[in-house]
Structure 1
Amino acid sequence: MNDELAQACIDGLKNLEIHNYPQPINMEVSLLSIFCGLYGIANESIRAEGIGNIRKFNKLSANADKNYGQASSNGERKPNPCILTKILRYHNKDYYEQIIKPLLKKNYEAKKKEKQTLINQTLIPNKIDLQDGITLLDMQEKAANGEYENEEQIVMDLTRLLLYYEGETEDIYAIKGYDAICDTQVLYQKLEGTVYKQLEKININFKNKKIDEKSDDKKESKPLTAKHIFKKYASKFAKKGCKFISEDPKILTVFQGYKYKKLDTIEYECLQMYLDLIKETIAAGDERVYEYILNWIAWMIQNPGKKSRAAIVLQ
């Protein structure tokens, strides 16, 4: 609890009836709960002011006044400043609505922004790897099972699947997907609306999520989706353009590898007719020319996007 909120709580703890025996806070204010809240305040001067105001501005029951010292000692062992906001919520409602609630919202937004800034500064996004089998379906299943604990984990998984760059008229998105025909992962180029519809299907249920009582609103909040997380950390997915192949990490390399399925064994019989064509017809039976042509073909496969600066002329 920061000093601004702590001081506001102290200013609101007035004209209360304070009892000795602890009861649920929504029923009555106990001396122990007051001390637990006050001892949770880090600022010593604000804490001292609050302790001084207990008898000065409030009405204590006979038993509460009698056991004042013991309650103070017990409260010091269980500090929790959030108790003060709950006391005001139930026993000084107008003050809570006008002063405390806006401050809670302000602090919540500030912490959320601070956390987002920290993540943006420290989080190193993954690279899209087509050999990595993760898909949006995997994320959807993880989210449905409550396997995500925080937003960082979602962002890290999304960076394994998705990025975008500026197009001529609108942003272009590259998203990894499964090609059933080739039985491999590929990069699909899609527009924003299509990608957003896919991300909206991933509803996030954080693991061990605590209920956050930021307000008294009874309305159900909109479900959190991967779309919200993506838009929140969009800078982690941005590229400045795309090329077939680029060494620049800020540019999307369109070529992500050949679409192939690795075979356990090679059936050379299937290739023999092509090898014979190269050797007997193109190379005219010359072993050196035959070897050169095979190396020339292999070099192009091994170095996609590069020019061999050599061409074969057939007569």
Structure 2
Amino acid sequence: MLPANVGLVKTCHSGLHSYCNKNGYRLPNNRCVKCIVLDNFKIDIFAQVYKHKSFENDPMQTYLVQNRGVGPNTCIRETKNNVRETLKYETISDQANMTHLANLRDILESWNVVIELPYAEFEKLKITRAFGQQITNDGIIDKMNNELVQACVDGLMNLTIHNYPQPIAMEVSLLSFFCGIYGITNEQIRAQGLQNICKFNTLTPNAEKNYGQALSQGERKPNAWILTKIFKYHNKEYYEQTIKPLLKKNYVAKKLEKQIHINQTLTPNKIDLSDDFKLLNMQEKAANGEYENEEQFVMDLTRLLKYYEGETEYIYVIKGYGANCDTQVLHHKLERTEHKQLEKINTNFKTKKIDEKTSETKESTPAKRLTAKHIFKKYASKFAKKRCKFISEDPKILSIFQGYKYKRLENEETNYDYLQIYLDLIKETIAAGDERVYEYFLNWIAWLIQNPGKKSRAAIILQ
């Protein structure tokens, strides 16, 4: 029934865990319980199972995840008939040392089972999950705003509250109720929520009996976002009409706040012609998946590109290789031309969109590519300049001059005899053989070349 190249773990309750490669299979949930029911057993499918719960212990795990299963060679403690015993999940075949795990899609197709979500529904579900995202990138629970908290407390009514903490999708328990209430930071709204539990809801006899114990446990595990899950499964009408719009509003506000913060803190780089970094390097880094987020991508792009307002349209200035002089130069281009060039660079961030497959034709519809053009438009203010001048001290004006154009010569191409004649003339005729005057004169000429348009407040007087 299972291929040979899967990891197998015998559970402590005579079950079997089979580890395979999800490989982009779009599951309806990360925790699919009894999604496949056969004659003599039932199958659960869990996603996001990692060997280590904390990514500090695994260098390959670069972002926070939530474990949905017990790992191999793990021990758990269980109390049964007042006897506490230690049970173990025994490894039968170790998936950690396998190079090619079996594919979940191939396994399910061999069983004639399809539980994959259509791409459109998957994208809709992904956006809905983003609305209720509660864990920040720092691994802490995000604070819920007062408007959403008040709506949650106002909707806590006409529910049957049980004692035993079953999953929220099955029933509402006292523990989940108190965890949600104690996650509210506003003391006035929290007190109102505690009153509403008994005032507008029905508690089972066991729930009334263990009310105090569940209250103390919930106080130790506060998370206000649990309240939104209660409505999602047990008051769907209130969730769709009241909670979901507020979740979307909160998501949009946080997204805008994050964008404003990035724009305020992101300091664009200057174009430096002495730096060999060019557009080809960006394409190679993007193709290799070296960019983790938009900020890294923007910082590299600001090393290459600026734009300013021309007489009829915007003019783009991009750093590139000059074949004639074998150095980096600035190229001036029109908007349409530059946008076509940026469209050629795919960002290839670690979170990639998956192609859609229709259930009827099985044909793949490519998802929209996120290119350098999209990133540029989103952060356009970081590339904007007021005008373009040959040289200017104003940071809002693009200075074209970064040194005189030159052709790089190899050592065998340089004729030092011609240069030496000029240096000897300066030393013997102008400096009259004085080493100090000769050195000063060379430094003076070098300063004039490096700082065009500036006054050195010095002049050479020949007597």
TM-score, normalising length from structure 2? Answer: 0.54
Alignment of 1:272 with 2:417, yes or no, is yes
Higher strand share: 2
What corresponds to 2:349 in structure 1? 205
How far off is 1:93 after superposition? 1.7
Please, what is the CA RMSD of the aligned residues? 3.7
Q: Does 1:152 align with 2:295?
A: yes
Check whether the contact 1:244–1:305 (CA below 8 A) recurs between aligned residues: no
SS in 2 for 1:72: helix
Matches within 5 A, 1:1-315: 1-179=144-322, 182-200=325-343, 201-206=345-350, 222-260=368-406, 265=411, 268=414, 270=415, 272=417, 288=429, 301-304=449-452
Higher helix share: 1
Deviation for aligned residue 1:3 = 0.6
- The alpha carbon displacement at 1:175 in A equals 1.6
The letter for the 2-side match of 1:31 is L
Aligned equivalents of 2:160, 2:324: Cα separation in 1: 74
User: Aligned partners of 2:282, 2:180: CA distance in 1, in Å?
Assistant: 41
Counterpart residue identity of residue 201, structure 2:
N
2:169 alignment partner, SS class = coil
| Per-residue deviation, residues 118-150 of structure 1 (Å, max 9, x unmatched) | 333333222111222333343344445554444
* Equivalent-residue separation in structure 2 for 1:180 and 1:36 (angstroms): 66
Task: Identify if the C-alpha distance between structure 1 residues 179 and 26 changes in structure 2 by more than 3 Å, giving closer, same or farther.
Answer: farther
Equivalence for 1:313: none
Secondary structure (helix, strand or coil) at the match of 2:333 reads strand
TM-aligned CA distance change 1:142 to 1:12, over 3 Å: farther
Structure of greater relative contact order (alpha carbons < 8 Å, 6+ residues apart): 1
**Contact in 1 for aligned 2:403/2:450 (Cα 8 Å):** no
Deviation string for 1:217-276 (max 9, x for gaps)? xxx9855443333323322221111111222211111123345576674655x3535876
Give the Cα–Cα distance (whole angstroms) in 2 for the partners of residues 52 and 255 of structure 1: 71
Task: Report SS of the residue matched to 1:175.
Answer: strand
User: Contact 1:5/1:100 (CA < 8 Å) preserved in 2?
Assistant: yes
Match of 1:311 in 2: none
Letter in structure 1 aligned against 2:262: I
* 1:167 CA displacement: 0.4
- Cα offset, 1:61, TM superposition: 3.1
Evaluate the alpha carbon distance shift between residue 178 and residue 24 of structure 1 in structure 2; reply closer, same or farther with a 3 A threshold. Answer: farther
**Separation of aligned partners in 2, 1:26 and 1:261:** 72
AA of the residue aligned to 1:158: L
Structure 2, unmatched stretches of 5+, are 1-143, 353-365, 433-437, 457-463
Which runs of 5 or more residues in structure 1 are unaligned? 210-219, 309-315
- Please, which moves more after superposition, 110-119 or 69-78? 110-119
Please give the secondary structure, in 1, of the residue aligned with 2:158. coil
Name the CA distance, whole Å, in 1 between partners of 2:339 and 2:411.
Answer: 42
CA distance in 1, matches of 2:288, 2:170: 38
* Amino acid of the structure 2 residue aligned with 1:250: K
Query: What amino acid sits opposite 2:198 in the alignment?
Result: R
Report the alpha carbon displacement of residue 180 of structure 1 after superposing the two structures with TM: 5.0
